[in-house]
Amino acid sequence: MTLDRLYDPGAPLPRLPGHVSDGRLERVLRSGRFAVTAELNPPDSADPREVYDRALVLSEVCDAINATDASGANTHMSSVGICSLLTRAGYAVVMQISCRDRNRIAIQGDVLGAAAMGVGNILCLTGDGVQAGDQPGAKPVFDLDSMTLLQTIRLMRDKQQFLSGRKITVPPRVFLGAAANPFAPPYDYRPLHLAKKVAAGADFIQTQYCFDVPLLRRFMDKVRDQGLHEKVFIIVGVGPLASAKTARWMRAHVPGVHIPDAVISRLEGAQNQKQEGKRLCIDLIQEIRDIAGVAGVHVMAYRQEEYVSEIISESGIMKNRQPRRPVKERIAS
Amino acid sequence: MYAVRLWSVRHSRLMERSYRLLESTLLALAPLLARIGHARLEKPFAWSERQLKGLLFDCQMCGQCALSSTGMSCSMNCPKNLRNGPCGGVRANGHCEVKPEMKCVWVAAWEGAQAMGGGMAILDVQRPVDHSLKGTSSWLRVVREKATAMPQPAKAATS
């Protein structure tokens, strides 16, 4: 295998008219296919193999891998670092940027660096508070918020300038994402908040974990009333719960996660709670897929990556579709 | 003070009216203020703003007041300083993710906005905070800008 072939998958795909990025995720979404993204749990290690091992499992079954940015305010390998490793192996990534740890100077620099490495998607997040993580004594930055972060990157991409007005010679071609949490108060404001994110520049949305489909349906009704589903691709967050105990812990400790009592009782009543958690996740995916205006699912399986591929294949959402496998990994396997 | 702050949001309509009155008064006085000199007025203006808004809204003197777009709930009291709506961490009881004993600033803002005449300004996207304006008078800046931009009093209050 020549070096050229090795680098081939990392090279940008041919540019398509009307597309803001050269990435795979935008293509899948714009072509109307049901998209699947999955979250990679970043290692507490400097070993690149740990990243590649986890990515290999996920890439089989998804259109893009999310590289989290110290989620839950816990320190791990950075999203920039993970994206650097993954893009050089040809994976499609969604780089998450949280406003908690860096100011606008650092973030704008990272956006240029990311685009230069081949990152095609950026998810703009406010970030969990530092109190939620392993270093509650850290200084929270929050110079920008998710909305102004979207505005900033859109300005860089579409107007070719930094926030300061200084010119950018080659703009970052990135598909812009934002988060939504339909499961937290004020519930009636949430659909309007989504409209605001679209106005600020969101091309796609990845939501918080959904364990409450009726609440999601009510949210999506309001989203469709505003015609937002035609302006933004809504990817709904899902994930397996390992046990009733884990569910209770998540509900109490992970900011923004809403788990109804009925879900916990279902797990509690099961012989094998882990299997039931997986089954529940598949059921949720199948229900969510049928809601009008939902463009895909985002699988977050904290410490249960081995289940992601089973969940996605058993739910049937990737039927008739073979996600691209990076050349480098084909060689390795 | 937390209790006063919540009271002000509950009376957002009254606050909005008072603000409009204050703004038109200041705009009428704009030529006089310009004659005295804005630089000379900065300190006394900032001082009175800090006292009054500090009492009513727990104002943090960001220098670019957005109260009329935030249902009269000062968004700089959000531990994440969010200027564009709530984060996803709001607790089921409507309280803050970071400070569980405090009602979410944006849950309050949404309630306040619905009671106001021009409350739907909450749906406008706010620009990033200019941290170099911290500690300066928002009132004086708005009056100066509005007086130069348009000679007649503006319709919507901005600060």
The interface pTM score, or ipTM, of the predicted complex is: 0.90
**Tokens standing for A156?**
């860089």
**pLDDT tens, B60-97?**
999 999 999 999 999 999 999 999 999 999 999 999 99
Question: What are the Cα distances from residue B35, in Å, to A25, B31, B147?
Answer: 59, 6, 13
**Tokens standing for A232?**
């933004």
Q: Tell me which chain A residue has its CA closest to the CA of residue B89.
A: A256
Say yes or no for a CB contact (<8 Å) between B110 and A189: yes
User: Residue B70's closest CA among B19, B25, B134, B143?
Assistant: B19
CA distance A49 to A82: 11
User: Residue A147's closest CA among B83, B121, B100, B9?
Assistant: B83
Interchain CB contact of B60 with A (< 8 Å)? no
Interchain CB contact of B106 with A (< 8 Å)? yes
Question: What are the Cα distances from residue A306, in Å, to A15, A57, A209, A281?
Answer: 34, 7, 19, 14
Q: Tell me which chain B residue has its CA closest to the CA of residue A195.
A: B123
Residue A212 pLDDT grade (very low, low, confident, very high; cuts 50, 70, 90) = very high
The count of residues in chain B is 159
* pLDDT value for A8: 43
Q: Are B17 and B116 in contact (CB under 8 A)?
A: no
Query: To the nearest whole number, what is the mean pLDDT of chain A?
Result: 92
* pLDDT value for A305: 81
- Beta strand A175-180 with A294-299 is unpaired
Residue A277 confidence (pLDDT) above 50: yes
Size of interface A-B (CB pairs under 8 A): 102
Residue A3 confidence (pLDDT) above 60: no
Residue A315 confidence (pLDDT) above 90: yes
Query: To the nearest whole number, what is the mean pLDDT of chain B?
Result: 92
Residue B153 DSSP symbol: P
Percent above pLDDT 90 for chain B: 86
CA distance B140 to B152: 17
Residue A50 confidence (pLDDT) above 60: yes
CA distance B9 to A209: 32
Say yes or no for a CB contact (<8 Å) between B86 and A184: yes
pTM score of the predicted model: 0.92
Question: What are the Cα distances from residue B132, in Å, to A145, B2, B38, B128, B136?
Answer: 17, 27, 18, 12, 9
Q: How close does chain B come to A73, measured CA to CA in Å?
A: 12
Q: How close does chain B come to A128, measured CA to CA in Å?
A: 7
CA distance A329 to A323: 13
Indicate the number of domains in chain A.
1
Residue B50 confidence (pLDDT) above 80: yes
The answer to the question of residue B156 being in a domain is no
Q: How close does chain B come to A182, measured CA to CA in Å?
A: 8
**Tokens standing for A25?**
């995720």
Residue A16 DSSP symbol: -
Residue A300 DSSP symbol: -
With a CB cutoff of 8 Å and minimum separation 6, the contacts of A93 are A64, A65, A66, A67, A82, A83, A86, A87, A119, A120, A121
CA trace torsion A10, A16, A18, A20 (10° rounding): 10
**What single string gives the DSSP state of each residue in A157-216?**
HHS-B-TT--B-SS----EEEEEE-TTSS-TTTHHHHHHHHHHHT-SEEEEEE---HHHH
Asked which of A10-19, A49-58, A320-329 is least confident by mean pLDDT, the reply is: A320-329
* pLDDT value for A59: 87
Note down the domain range covering B82. 2-149
* pLDDT value for A325: 55
* pLDDT value for A333: 43
Residue B55 pLDDT grade (very low, low, confident, very high; cuts 50, 70, 90) = very high
Note down the domain range covering A279. 3-15+24-332
Residue A87 confidence (pLDDT) above 80: yes
Largest interatomic CA distance in chain A:
61
Q: Tell me which chain A residue has its CA closest to the CA of residue B76.
A: A142
* pLDDT value for A114: 97
Q: Which residues, in sequence order, are bridge partners of residue B45?
A: none
CA distance A17 to A32: 16
Alpha-helix runs per DSSP H in chain A: 3-7, 24-30, 48-59, 79-88, 104-117, 146-158, 190-200, 213-225, 244-253, 261-268, 273-289, 305-315, 327-332
Indicate the number of domains in chain B.
1
Output A9 or A103, whichever has higher pLDDT. A103
* pLDDT value for A321: 74
Contact residues, chain B, for A179 at CB < 8 Å: 88
With a CB cutoff of 8 Å and minimum separation 6, the contacts of A33 are A321
Q: How close does chain B come to A258, measured CA to CA in Å?
A: 8
B34-38 LR contacts (CB < 8 Å, sep 24+): B34/B144, B34/B147, B38/B140, B38/B144
* pLDDT value for B53: 97
Q: Are A131 and A121 in contact (CB under 8 A)?
A: no
- Beta strand A233-238 with A121-125 is unpaired
Q: Looking at the partner chain, which of A144, A180, A181 has a beta carbon nearest the beta carbon of B128? A: A144
The answer to the question of residue B158 being in a domain is no
Q: Which residues of A make CB contacts under 8 Å with B?
A: 99-100, 104, 126-129, 131-132, 140, 142-148, 151-152, 163, 179-181, 184-186, 188-189, 192-193, 195-196, 199-200, 208, 255-256, 258
Q: Looking at the partner chain, which of A129, A193, A196 has a beta carbon nearest the beta carbon of B79? A: A129
The position carrying tokens 């009254």 is B14
Q: Tell me which chain A residue has its CA closest to the CA of residue B106.
A: A186
**Tokens standing for B81?**
């300083």
User: Residue A314's closest CA among A285, A290, A277?
Assistant: A285
* pLDDT value for B149: 80
The answer to the question of residue B159 being in a domain is no
Say yes or no for a CB contact (<8 Å) between B91 and A184: yes
The answer to the question of residue B81 being in a domain is yes
CATH code of the domain containing A287: 3.20.20.220
User: Residue B92's closest CA among A185, A181, A132?
Assistant: A185
